[in-house]
Structure 1
Amino acid sequence: MMLVALLWLALFFETLESLSFTPTIISCQPTTTTTSPSPLFASSVNDVTSESIQELNGRERITITLPPFAAMNQRDACQYPSVLHHLHIQSLLSQEEASKACQMAHDFAASTGRWLKPDSERHQSYATCDFPVEDCETLQDFLDEVDFDGRLFKSLSDLYNIEMEDLSYLDLFVAHYQAKTDNNDNPQIMDRLEAHRDGSILAFSLLLNSPDDFEGGGTFYEALRDVPPSFGVLHAGGTIRPQKAGDAVMHCGKILHGADVVTSGSRTVLVGFVDVSERCQRPGVLSEACKEWGRVDVVKYRFERQESKGHQGWLSNNSKFFHGDASSSAVKGFLPALQGVIRRNNPELCRRRRLEAEDVLLRNILLPSEERSNDVFDGDISILDINFEDDPSEA
């Protein structure tokens, strides 16, 4: 009886789930013509012709907007696109400055061996062959000399409507990707980085060496996978490849992205994770997105666990409570897999659920300027009301 009850209970929840889970997806399949541009790009490039697109390639900045994925009611429609839906390609260093920085980075890496294997101590989940800028004194001094921080934070402030005092580095490092050719016998070099999300709200990747030094590479964005190539920087598969050294791709770090494979040569990039003060963030939005991403990961884990056991079902752990000899049971302690686990593990459905949660996050994580607290330090700085002149012993 207990086994029958368990089977009926499983069937009940399976039926309930199939009735309640009806995700709504907005298609991200834009069409491309020279007279009717895709609606997925930023308003600054709307209503452009092929001639004006060529002019855009010569401008200082190119902006690309992620398509919407989450279902939108009237209020949500007003929130799309948010500033975080925009990816910006902009020159932050001249080609000469980038070349100098690249040489300094290569000299330091050659003397320390920092590009021979991934640094799993600093980046445990998604390690890269890299070193922090602060470890290379010559590179740090050079970036200070050209006021790189000022250029970067001013651009991020203007583009994402965040005050410069609300921006700070979470990490700043130089990463190196090298093609795994027959001429290289080091199995630990990296030629790509799988899709991931950064630990910071904002991030950037700046190309230090010339695009002529390698083939492939670039940063791919899962949300742009189905968007047609454009502007000479957006390639198939949602990969953005800057056209010259010194160009940076700036984006929200919570957008699912990775480094596309370098098929020949090597690619060197200056990467930064930029934190945004909590006073600018709407509480709970990031945690809700993480819950949604986690639910998708759990579904994958459950399905892979079932497959690893050589069947699509669960072995019961409580067979000792069955009446009689459990080994003689008709099902031998085996419960069939819920179809919801199999259905939700569909790769395309998993992808879209992740992108839905990402879309909602991008629309809501940043508070409007008028709703932000006046405490730019988030309460991290305490002011001591002590007059040391009156009582020297307090010093």
Structure 2
Amino acid sequence: MGNSKMIEAFVADHREEFLSILEHVVNLESHTYGARETKNRCGLYLKELFEGLGFTVGTMDVGDVGIHVTGTYGSGTHKVLLVGHYDTVFPTGTTRERPFTVRDGKAFGPGIYDMKGGLISFYMAMKALRELHMMPEDKEVTFFFNCDEEAGSGTSKDAIMALASQSDACLVAEPGHNAPGYVTAERFGRSVVEITARGEASHAGNRPDYAANPLLELSYLIIELESLCDKKRGVWYSPVSLHGGDVGATAMTPADASVIYDIRYLNEDLGREVEEVLHTLRPKLKNVHLEISGGREKPPFAQSEIHAKVYNRAKEIVEELGYPYQPARLGGGSDCNFTASVGCPSLCGLGLNGDFLHNPKEYVQIDTIPTRVALVAELIRTL
């Protein structure tokens, strides 16, 4: 029996332990914008959990945001970084309404798929490697679990990038799609910008032809940016919020109007193209000017030679376990975008199989847990 199959069998034998720990973590509230004290209980439990495996664990206090939890095992020359988040999108109190439950071969609960299941996969992968005496002596494993990923990782991304810049590989346990052979091999970059048109208010009846209506200006701009969307190349501009005028003062055209854009791009070349497009936007109407604020939130995570060793090793392991390799490309970002941006060979989507992230129907598939943990463990062991 190969190493990956031995690990898979070990996890299958520890199924009830896995589910028991997962239940506890899922039922610990950790809403991104929840009270610090409430979130910290989840972070401190994870600290205790990994200390039980022999990790040296500490916390990074970020005030009202909460605590990030980080730990290291071993002191070898080959360094692997494990990245995940324990915050969820579900408001405090959600677990009282629908706590962790198991039915029809699935486990349900707030944040179970995104991504508390992935965190416990990291735990069980390390437990398997230790108890099966498979951990190489030259290996150093560090984890970083943040509490603000769903808000963009504003207080944690610098720490994550610093760790990644010192690591030989990074594994991110974001949701693992709906089949055992899936990983996330690419993620789009994202910019969020607000474009404000400033014109001049006017009476809509007396001066209907007045050429300084900012809402009209933004109408032209939205059509212009829509024409630049190209899903084949991998770039699109999505207006997500539009505001201007007063619903009460309907006889008056507004002086100002604004639109917020969520912009996605597959690679750095397209990211630079987006920046150039925004820089060269010009108003179509006289007496109107444009103001642009905001910018890049996440760099793209695109496949390259840098990431080939992780990508190819994952393929070998998945096939050893008896499944087809299914690398996916996602429009949404993760902390893997940050680790990849500093040149650390990275792979994402290594969490549990399931579906319906950010949805009350969110679940993980129980029967593929051993396979997913074996994939993670073998990557840790061999990278």
The TM-score range, normalised by the shorter chain, is under 0.3
Instruction: Please identify the structure whose Cα radius of gyration is greater.
Output: 1
Structure 1 or 2: more strand by fraction: 2
TM-score, with length taken from structure 1: 0.27
Return the structure number with greater relative CO, CA threshold 8 A, min gap 6: 2
Provide TM-score, normalisation by structure 2: 0.27
